[in-house]
Amino acid sequence: MIPALRTFQVRPSLPAELRPLNGLASNLRWAWDQPTQELFRWVDPSLWDRTGNPVALLGALDAARIASLASDSAFLARLARLHGELDAYLAGSSWASQSDPALPVVAYFSPEFGLTHVMQTYSGGLGILAGDHLKAASDAGLPLVGVGLLYRHGYFKQYLDADGWQRERYPDLNPNTLPLRRLESGGEPATIDVQLAGSTVACQIWKAEVGRVPLLLLDTDLPRNAPHDRTVTDRLYGGDTEHRLRQEIVLGIGGVRALRLAIRIGEVAREPELYHSNEGHAGFLQFERIRRLMVDDRLSFDDAVEAARAGVLFTTHTPVPAGIDKFPADLARPYFAAVAASCGVEVDRVLALGQQTADGDEPFNMAVMGLRLSALANGVSQLHGVVSRRMFAHLWPDLSDVETPITSVTNGVHALTWIGAEMTGVYQRHLAPDWPDNPLAWERVDEITDDALWRARERARERMLSRVRTAVRAQAMRRGERSAALDWTDEIGDPEALTIGFARRFAEYKRGTLLLRQPERLRRLLLSTDRPVQVVFAGKAHPRDDLGKGLIRQLVHFGADPDLRTRLVFVEDYDMEIARALYAGVDVWLNTPRRPHEACGTSGQKAVLNGALHCSTLDGWWDEMFDGENGFAIGSDDDMGDSEQQDAADTQSLFDVIERVIVPMFYDRSTGPLPRRWLSRVRRSLRTLGPRVLAARMVREYVTDLYAPLADRARALAADDHARARALSQWRRRIDATWPQVRILDVTADDSATHVGSPRDLRVTVALGPLTVDDVRVEVVHGAVNADGEIDRAVVEPMRHDGGIEPARYAARFRCDRAGEYGFTVRVVPMHRDLLSAADTGRAVWPSAAAVIHQQRLDA
């Protein structure tokens, strides 16, 4: 190979009549607009099916085909209409403009974005969620800009060897063949610099248009960089721990700098008021924001931390501590030195932002930093919010885990990206025109007839099986099997048989081989002649996860039996394209994570929107949305603790559900040729789940519940040269210095038996030290007591200041609202008007053994 001395862009030369094709190709709205995709298929069906990439398609057209299209009046009419629709979409009114024109500009940082299978800037659920977030934000007209990395080799392509073991290859990604544009300034590539342990690394910036939303992607593959530095953005989740640290610094620090540059040269319209960190990988964005506040606004380090955290939302997707990025302190120090020097503080001061204790040698924890440097954090389902509050409760040791300040917004999926053509046609005929974005439109699902629903499901199943047959045949030929011996691949799947799909990352906790725990029972289901079941598997294991690779090999070996190979198949190289075919065609989407290890698990949401029924353990989103009749549940919501016992119980439950409920319901034709009980449940699934699993719903919740209120607070703290942020920072320092002097001296209350609803009076004396009554809130905590002597579902009410300063006296009256054993306690928490909540500081003083408890009846 001969390296190029210089490179430049050669764009396809299209006549004026066809130039609107460039506009359609350059905006990624085509990735979720089926009519535009069909237009590109019209341009050249074989090229489109081979690439799925309109930029590459247009670049490969020959002169004869260009001339033919330019004289095709029908094509030109369709082109003009679709280009006009894109212009109308970009300029038209939206939910955001109609609801609140002053919504904050949000910078959405993520290490990966799953927008289309032709751009390998994603690996799995985190990236797909980020891509759907951008698409839904575009549809809603939300002023949002995405920031991520452009990986020159993307995520790996998966293939299986003759033994069924996963192998990886990393194809080169040429950004010039993608719907991307490199930013330029003065005719040269626009670049920013990032310091990586003493090395200055230049990053160029690529821009994608995701509908109305711009997406900036940083790339270090520049000739001016040293070879080691050019590879920082080579692979998604590749390399060792240090490589990951280098990538995340480029994403966070470099991303903020790239955003400022894009604003300066007019590529992004407005300065963000809010930064949304999608997982901890992007958390270093705060380092740069703190530095800029110190340089531009001359804030002290502590004041800059206070001002910076006011404008950040941190979303965690991690349900287990092992999933959090941690960097050894000795590795992190050289990389943090430049930040510390520019902020005028010792490097250990910066390092402490991500350490749980004062031990300077403790690893730097990205989730700890994310929680400390954000105004608010959220999990991605209600159950995940509960799990996250427990997992991170140690950072707020004075509070109960239910008060850990982590809320939740349940993930959703972008409807037009994931719903197949068959069900899209059904919805367009029977629902309101705005069904992809309007939850109320789904109330008309019951108007869809059994005939229409079943015809769409049959066509989608047939299309999916055709795709699977082609894929399995290609897999076998690549492994060296003779074409003449592959006739059996034409028999894969029965278009009338119950089809179960399982596709996701192969990690141990997701239990992709749960069905194999009872192999004979599975064989009977697969080989049944009157009520057959067929299963399609797909998914990748992390390149360093040999356990996950072993699970894939088990499935491949089981399905290699000549009696089973047309009933149980594994499709290689799972990506967005394969996913869409499976979501559209399966009848049941199977999800088997070991509860509660699934943060959300949106794959089932996509299948549900296609008319499949979800069968899952009660984990992630299914825990909050399963109503007993809109799908199927595996096991219960009890957490056994012992994984082997849990797996055995869930296996038994899974087979019972399939054999006793799913199979009989699917094959019940007692009232005619259609499975009317099955279709009734599908309609219930669509009616109850359709509006709840939409990314449109998710984005609106982020806007109304988190973005807007956080932005209002951030604006208030930033006003008048950050006056309130400075004051809040000073108040925190005073609280930190004097809080050990706060004590509860005595409590006076009546603990005699009473009746439900009866009042109970309480008095407390508190030593505040140098603090004032305006710095604290004294609270009574009361509720029913469980067998362990703990208050369940505690009610927290403020007590009123009843005189005195040092000590201060407080009084309250509360009512016992439940029968049985009842209890109360009291506490003191710091309070300031600019805190989001009393939990913000994580501090509380509870009665100690030295406190005097007076048990006497108080006059009302």
**Bridge-based pairing state of the strands 144-149 and 106-109:** parallel
Both tokens of residue 689? 């789940």
pLDDT at 860 over 60: no
pLDDT at 111 over 90: yes
| pLDDT tens sequence across 422-457 | 999 999 999 999 999 888 899 999 999 999 999 999
Task: Say how far apart CA 211 and CA 214 lie, in whole Å.
Answer: 8
Kindly state the average pLDDT of the residues 723-747: 97
| pLDDT tens sequence across 163-173 | 999 999 998 88
Helix 576-585 and helix 450-478: axis angle, to 10°? Answer: 140
In the chain, how long is the greatest CA-to-CA distance? Answer: 98
pLDDT at 691 over 70: yes
3-state secondary structure of 295: helix
pLDDT at 175 over 60: yes
Both tokens of residue 540? 């990748």
Q: DSSP state, 857?
A: P
Task: Say how far apart CA 538 and CA 541 lie, in whole Å.
Answer: 10
DSSP code string of 15-71: -GGGTHHHHHHHBGGGGG-HHHHHHHHHH-HHHHHHH--HHHHHHH--HHHHHHHHT
pLDDT at 85 over 90: yes
3-state SS, one letter per residue, for 485-553: HCHHHHHCCCCCCEEEEEECCCCHHHCCCHHHHCHHHHHHHHHCCCCCEEEEEECCCCCCCHHHHHHHH
Q: What is the pLDDT of residue 64?
A: 95
| pLDDT tens sequence across 224-247 | 999 999 999 999 988 899 999 999
Strand ranges for 543-659 from DSSP E: 568-571, 588-591, 613-617, 632-634
Query: Which residue, among 508, 473, 504, has the nearest Cα to 578 in the 3D structure?
Result: 504
Task: Say how far apart CA 659 and CA 681 lie, in whole Å.
Answer: 17
Q: What is the pLDDT of residue 848?
A: 86
Residue type (1 letter), 657: V
Confidence of residue 576 (pLDDT cuts 50, 70, 90): very high
Confidence of residue 859 (pLDDT cuts 50, 70, 90): very low
Kindly state the average pLDDT of the residues 339-359: 93
Residue type (1 letter), 208: A
Residue 343 CB-half CA count within 13 A: 26
Q: What is the mean pLDDT of the chain?
A: 94
Task: Say how far apart CA 265 and CA 641 lie, in whole Å.
Answer: 56
Q: DSSP state, 375?
A: S
Geometric angle at alpha carbon 486, from 482 and 487, rounded to 5°: 140
Q: What is the pLDDT of residue 177?
A: 92
Geometric angle at alpha carbon 264, from 259 and 267, rounded to 5°: 65
- Asked if 148 and 248 touch (Cβ cutoff 8 Å), the reply is no
Both tokens of residue 397? 């040791």
Task: Say how far apart CA 692 and CA 412 lie, in whole Å.
Answer: 7
**Bridge-based pairing state of the strands 632-634 and 613-617:** parallel
Kindly state the average pLDDT of the residues 144-155: 94
φ, ψ dihedrals at 152, nearest 5°: -70, -20
Task: Say how far apart CA 522 and CA 96 lie, in whole Å.
Answer: 50
pLDDT at 827 over 80: yes
Helix 285-297 and helix 255-264: axis angle, to 10°? Answer: 50
Q: DSSP state, 274?
A: E
Percent of the chain with pLDDT over 70: 97
Residues 6 or more apart whose CB falls under 8 angstroms from that of 376 comprise 313, 314, 405, 407, 706, 710, 836
**Helix, strand, coil percentages, rounded to 5, for the chain:** 45, 20, 35
Cα separations (Å) of 220 from 154, 235, 755? Answer: 14, 12, 70
- Asked if 277 and 133 touch (Cβ cutoff 8 Å), the reply is no
3-state SS, one letter per residue, for 141-208: CCCEEEEEECCCCCCCEEEECCCCCEEEECCCCCHHHCCCEECEECCEECEEEEEECCEEEEEEEEEE
pLDDT at 181 over 90: yes
Cα separations (Å) of 302 from 21, 184, 298, 346, 715? Answer: 52, 36, 12, 13, 18
Both tokens of residue 469? 């047959």
Higher model confidence: residue 765 or residue 438? 765
Confidence of residue 501 (pLDDT cuts 50, 70, 90): very high
Query: Which residue, among 24, 27, 28, 26, has the nearest Cα to 576 in the 3D structure?
Result: 28
Q: List 327's β-bridge partners, or say none.
A: 364
Kindly state the average pLDDT of the residues 614-642: 93
Percent of the chain with pLDDT over 90: 85
φ, ψ dihedrals at 356, nearest 5°: -80, -30
- Asked if 377 and 407 touch (Cβ cutoff 8 Å), the reply is yes
Cα separations (Å) of 51 from 54, 113, 573, 577, 580? Answer: 8, 19, 15, 11, 16
**Residue pointed to by tokens 């499709």:** 571
Q: What is the pLDDT of residue 857?
A: 53
Residue type (1 letter), 431: L
Q: How far is CA 283 from the centre of its chain?
A: 15
Q: What is the pLDDT of residue 856?
A: 57
- Asked if 159 and 167 touch (Cβ cutoff 8 Å), the reply is yes
Task: Say how far apart CA 576 and CA 596 lie, in whole Å.
Answer: 26
**Residue pointed to by tokens 């925190």:** 732
Task: Say how far apart CA 615 and CA 635 lie, in whole Å.
Answer: 11
Q: DSSP state, 799?
A: P
Q: List 315's β-bridge partners, or say none.
A: 278, 378
Task: Centre a 10 Å sphere on the Cβ of residue 92 and count the other Cβ atoms it contains.
Answer: 11
Global pTM value: 0.96
pLDDT at 357 over 90: no
Task: Centre a 10 Å sphere on the Cβ of residue 138 and count the other Cβ atoms it contains.
Answer: 25
